[in-house]
Amino acid sequence: MQLMQPDPAAALLGLRAMKMVATAAGPIGPAQRALMEAARRVILHLDADIDTLAPVTPAELAAGFPGPALRHQFVDGMLVVALADGVPARATVARIEEFAEALGVAATELGDLHRLAEHHMLLFKLDFLRRSQIGDIMKNQLEQKGPLGLAKAVLGLRGVMEDTALAARYRAWERLPEETLGNAVWRFYQKNGFSMPGEKGGFPEAGLYHDLSHVLGGYDTDPEGEVEVASFSAGYKRTRPFYMVMFAVMVFSTGVNVRPTAGNVTTGVLGKPGMAERMFAAIERGSQVNTDLSDKWDYWPYVELPLEEARRRLNVVAKASG
């Protein structure tokens, strides 16, 4: 997933349409405004006042907005704007549907947003999880470890059982030199009180790339850091990457728990100063990684490497300053 930059004319049309999405059911929310301002500066490179932007019709937008990939990215952007300050209203989703139809974009994510706005929460969550990275993790766990391995992983995640042999393999990372990736991940788990794979409450091995991405990317586990690591992961993910972003936005800005287990949620995190810019920067940084870490990546050859060497081999570039 890489952020594409439209030409100035198309960028202005897009920003006008974004404003129409944000105002479909009322005034622009604080997180929506922060997101649009960040997009204006970082992606669109426009000098424009959002409050004075004129409306645009779906036909006008489609006539001046080129390329299927850019159109899809724009529809994804509208979805984030819709979710930034909470569960969107039906009018907001209807406006996105009008723009998406005119652009010829049939986004599966839009169907999930429609179910959410209609408060069909069970159907929404089931379909969202199926299409999200959670569904990919379970599929990869099954393919790599077989039905028994998947069953053990699910029971472990729910705290029902412990796989002592598997847990011992990961606890051994404690004994690696401190500068290694493996030891850094072990310290990450200890600092945050997380369970390692095989332990009760531990995540399936196929999903360990998430915590490895925290360490490789240097992202924290607060809401801001979780949005960043999801965006970083979306950058390197090759299949349905936008669901990564939506997952984090749902939990930490919309206030909807789409995890397979219970957990805390927050609202409006994208409205915090600089947060939208951090999200865009993380997507761009992740897009430079040379491996899709979410797709059955074998991390074992890397765990004994120095952390900086692992970053170099994967092309995890340094965070941009400021």
Judgement on whether residues 101 and 200 belong to the same structural domain of the protein: no
Judgement on whether residues 66 and 197 belong to the same structural domain of the protein: no
The predicted pLDDT at position 321 comes to: 67
Residue 315: band (very low, low, confident or very high) from pLDDT cuts 50, 70, 90: very high
The DSSP result for 223-289, as a single string, is: HHHHHHHHHHHHHH--SSTHHHHHHHHIIIII----SSS-----S-GGGSTTHHHHHHHHHHHHHT-
Judgement on whether residues 137 and 106 belong to the same structural domain of the protein: no
For residue 174, the tally of other CB atoms under 10 A from its CB is: 13
Quick one: which of 80, 105, 110, 106 has its CA closest to 93? 110
Distance between alpha carbon 162 and the CA centroid of its chain, in Å?
A: 29
Structure tokens given for 130? 């199926």
- Residue 127 included in any domain: no
Judgement on whether residues 92 and 149 belong to the same structural domain of the protein: no
Judgement on whether residues 50 and 148 belong to the same structural domain of the protein: no
Share of the chain above pLDDT 70, in %: 98
Out of 91, 118, 145, a domain closes at 118
- Residue 257 included in any domain: no
Alpha-carbon distances, residue 150 vs 36, 201, 239, 267, 296 (angstroms): 41, 14, 21, 33, 14
CA–CA distance, 30 with 299 (Å, rounded to integer):
40
Out of 67, 93, 118, a domain closes at 118
The model's pLDDT over 160-185, given as tens digits with 9 standing for 90+, comes to: 778 889 999 999 999 999 999 999 99
- Provide the residue range defining the domain that includes 224: 133-239+288-314
The model's pLDDT over 58-88, given as tens digits with 9 standing for 90+, comes to: 999 999 888 888 898 899 899 999 999 999 9
- Residue 47 included in any domain: yes
Judgement on whether residues 204 and 304 belong to the same structural domain of the protein: yes
Judgement on whether residues 50 and 196 belong to the same structural domain of the protein: no
The reported pTM is 0.88
Q: Is the pLDDT of residue 152 over 90?
A: no
For residue 171, the tally of other CB atoms under 10 A from its CB is: 15
Structure tokens given for 233? 């992961």
The predicted pLDDT at position 299 comes to: 95
How many domains does the chain contain in total?
A: 2
- Region 199-203: mean pLDDT is 86
Judgement on whether residues 137 and 229 belong to the same structural domain of the protein: yes
Judgement on whether residues 147 and 294 belong to the same structural domain of the protein: yes
Judgement on whether residues 158 and 227 belong to the same structural domain of the protein: yes
Residue 131 in contact with residue 154, Cβ under 8 Å? no
Residue 322: band (very low, low, confident or very high) from pLDDT cuts 50, 70, 90: low
Judgement on whether residues 153 and 299 belong to the same structural domain of the protein: yes
- Residue 201 included in any domain: yes
Exposure on the CB side of residue 198, measured as CA atoms within 13 A: 10
CA–CA distance, 57 with 71 (Å, rounded to integer):
15
- Residue 220 included in any domain: yes
Please, what is the average pLDDT of the chain? 89
Structure tokens given for 98? 């009008």
Structure tokens given for 152? 């053990």
- Region 13-41: mean pLDDT is 93
For the ranges 136-150, 266-280, 291-305, which has the lowest average pLDDT?
A: 136-150
Judgement on whether residues 181 and 81 belong to the same structural domain of the protein: no
- Residue 252 included in any domain: no
Q: Is the pLDDT of residue 158 over 80?
A: no
